[in-house]
Structure 1
Amino acid sequence: MLGDWWEQGKRLLGSHLLHSDSEEEDMGFLEVTVSDIKHPAPELGPMPDGLSPQQVVRRHILRSIVQSEGSYVESLKRILQDYRNPLMEMEPKVLSARKCQVVFFRLKEILQCHSMFQIALSSRVAEWDTTEKIGDLFVASFSKSMVLDVYSDYVNNFTTAMSIIKKACLTKPAFLEFLKRRQVSSSDRVTLYGLMVKPIQRFPQFILLLQDMLKNTPKGHPDRLSLQLALTELETLAEKLNEQKRLADQLAEIQQLTKSVSDRSSLNKLLTSGQRQLLLCETLTETVYGDRGQLIKSKERKVFLLNDMLVCANINFKPVNHRGQLEISSLVPLGPKYVVKWNTSLPQVQVMEVGQEGGTYDKDNVVIQNAGAKKSSPASQAHNKVYLGPPRLFQELQDLQKDLAVVEQITLLISTLHGTYQNLNMTVAQDWCLALQRLMRVKEEEIHSANKCRLRLLLPGKPDKSGRPISFMVVFITPNPLSKISWVNRLHLAKIGLREENQPGWKSPDEDKKSKAPFWCPILACCIPAFSSRTLSLQVSRNLAFLC
């Protein structure tokens, strides 16, 4: 029965999937009418007696699945019935039919998929106490390619849909008033944005529920294997959708950045020319320290790593002085505005790591190396280390080092005393030394932790009066150590990708055959696996040379 339902849905939806670019949204789509009388919503009956604790928990989880799915289907229906249909029928139009199709793209198909899933879920819930199986239903319902197709189209289109809604709110008061009326009249006061974001959140919710179900399914249970398979299918689907959402968000970020740049500026021409890609985009905290380690300035910046340039922008969260701006922001997120602070070509960017300064002092960091100490005490060992970190932390560490040196001298003097004095003996002096050493270790760990999140970039500045190039240091604090590692790796790989030998495409001689193609291989040639057979390895090398 379950297979028949999905085959029917596949035939009905198939033609529409092939015509997704048509001007009429409903062209080739035959809607399956789901009657509430013939197909009532799933409802779990009274709990029978004699169930084990695990069976009781599984029953509660099933109830959560039924309730969350029912709420989700109702949300999809609300989008179509309360927003899409009235906007399509409204006269005069506050949103054109074409824009309505873009805003509500694929929602009918998503509702169709879940309506069929709900029918199958209803029959499965009715027989739960005899079968206790749910995993195979998720596999049959959400492993279909058409589910991935409709959700992918929806996720890819989501940013565009929100952009149309925001622009319509700003330019058409009637549209803004329509959204406000719909929100106020709803029982839960959920906005259109709150409803439309639910398809993006649906599969992560399914995954959490099935994980709970699997935890409470014993080994050997007939539902365990199908639950594991269902989780694999849903996690794969969610990962694909997350990747598509990430790419769509990156494209939106570039568009937002481009809008913040003057049309006549050179940066605007760079952003709009060629096939420029956004590799990484994150909000980082720029920090500036004084000569004594005091924090002078700390401000959040939006940093964009493109495939050939690095852009830093100020973030302006203040609403623009526009009528109804606060009302709009309560209905749909407006997002920040960017003001470009600086941009530089990627090959000119250098990442400064620990030990690269060569013992120099600069405005943002201190590197001190005291060599040649004669003693082998812990204090002298500490003096031989190179410390890099925020100047305040380094100054505190340096003060501890000086105090330890003084206490060691006091200890030597105490050892020369002939009399016995209270609280002035070698035991107390040694305790002082150990306490200071512990504080130094704690301070070293603080400096080390700070460096894990500090991204230090050396950027080219304007030449001085004599024409000599000048570089300046920019220091960012990343949200966590993994973020810094990601930035360093992406910067390094992006610079490698800009090398001539790694540019896409193969160079060939001109038609006149007077010039020769350069002899080089892309960096990907380094990824060829090493074979144990020497003959096979040599043969692969010859083939590569021939291709190049």
Structure 2
Amino acid sequence: MTDRDRKLSAPLPSGLRKDSLAMPVVRETRRLSLSILGAKMGRYKPLLRRRCSQPVSNNVRSFTTMRAHSVTSETTLTLPRLDVFNDTRTHIVKELYDTEANYVANLKHMVQKYMRPLKQPIECTLIEPGLVDDIFFKIPEILGHHELFYAALHSRMDNWDSRQKIGDIILNNFTKQSVIDTYTTFINNWKYAKTAITHARTKPAFAKYYDRCSREHKNKLTLEALLIMPVQRIPRYELLLKELLKHTSVEHPDHNLLIRAQKEIHELAIKINHVEQEATMCEQMQQRLREIEAIVDGLDDLVSVDRTFFCHDLVTVAGRSGKKERCLFLMSDQIIVTSVKRKSSGGLRKAGSFVSSPNTDFLDNNKFKLLMKISLEDVEIGRNTLPLLNRAQNELSSAQEDLKILDKITDLAKLLSVENSSLKGTVSDMQTAMRTCLMEKQDEMANDPVLTSLDLLVTTEEGIETFAIRFHNAEKRAAWEITFNNAKSALRTSLARKPPPDFVKSLVMQKTRAGLHFSCATPTMGRNDSGYQNVWVCNSDGYIGQLCVVNVRPEPELESCNAVANSKIRAICPVPVAK
């Protein structure tokens, strides 16, 4: 007998027989509970700790597993097979650890191989510093957060056992407001980063540097492929946590932590998914803009991440040479006016699939040539006739409903058993009158110039010009005007959110008297010979108002300063001349 055998043959406490440890089935009643089983095990731990040559935790775990499996075979209790359970859980955690290591390595590659060299004096001529900041916006911050997270994971893996936790370090990392803000701002900037890369690659020197860095990556990944990884990483965490929870028992100390971590990751993933959807819509919109650019002769530089296409409409424009058909393409920041000419049957060319509507054939079967581009800031609708149009539409709807009611009355009258010729005659006369009224309303909606036309007031270099357009019917005109007003409102909001312009230089203003201070300013409606709007600047001391005219061409220059009022000028705006 070896020393080890002698140690293991020490006397056992009362109630425990040697053969009970080797029994394949525990002879216990069917009502044996897990708590009783745990209590019994607690009595044996001191002895096993003294007598067993193997670590206590392993022996107790083996014994618990054997007893648990034996009880399961004899009773209705369902216990997990801990050996299989732990293997699966460990495998998932190992996958999380490996993918995190790869993610951190790719973030480091972007910083060390792209961002830092491009900011060094040797390579800084390849690309403007502003483009470098746009491309790698928040990448260093993301790397810093994930280096800390990876270090915490590494520490847990070094001390891994079946009771180890990782939910707490996930919570500690991804509930930080700095992490949430970093990811959301990165996602918001992502489309601009992609555009900046496209712009930078137009330079041959940077394109060569870009290709060399892509070849040096161990997986030959391009910068675009690396840059999309933060977008995909958070949803990947959510999938791994979902699988990890499946293989973590409710009694495990990590279970509640993983549930909380999954909730936090899910909320962050929803935000990222929303921004991703916006990015996808942006890509689709840019494709639409490219297709419009392809079918309009003479149209360039239409594609922009900040531009949205709303609609196109065929209209009639009254000019000096008569009425001509024109096509209006309404964008979020401009209106494009083109001529329209029918294609020959043999010269059809497809414009793509940018509009899934009955009007697609119109775009496919006609040729368009650019006539003018009008900034949406320079356009206003002259006379507001939408109330008249809304009233006409309501009257038309009421006439249609009345006619339906009269038709129902006619059908009900047929069910009467008594003589009702007078009723039928009255209803018939009302139906005839209502149909006549309905036709008049429909004709009014289609042909009344007040309802189908509108005047656009356009600010040009010569002043305010009126652009009179007429739609095919009142419904199209109403839809266009509503879309136009919404676009103008959105444009004003976006301009208000833009940061203030950078200070370039100061301009000395002449004063007609001492003590004058700036009060207000506005651009003029007309434009100068260089195509710029002048700026009116008002100064006052509370008793007199002074107006200075600044010419922007493109360098600002003071043209004149004159006293215009014997009181303070508090507000100023240009008003078009009535024609």
Shorter-chain TM range is 0.3 to 0.5
Give the TM-score, by structure 1 length.
Answer: 0.41
TM-score after normalising by structure 2: 0.39
Instruction: Name which one, 1 or 2, has greater alpha-carbon Rg.
Output: 2
Question: Using CA pairs below 8 Å that are at least 6 residues apart, which structure has the higher relative contact order?
Answer: 1
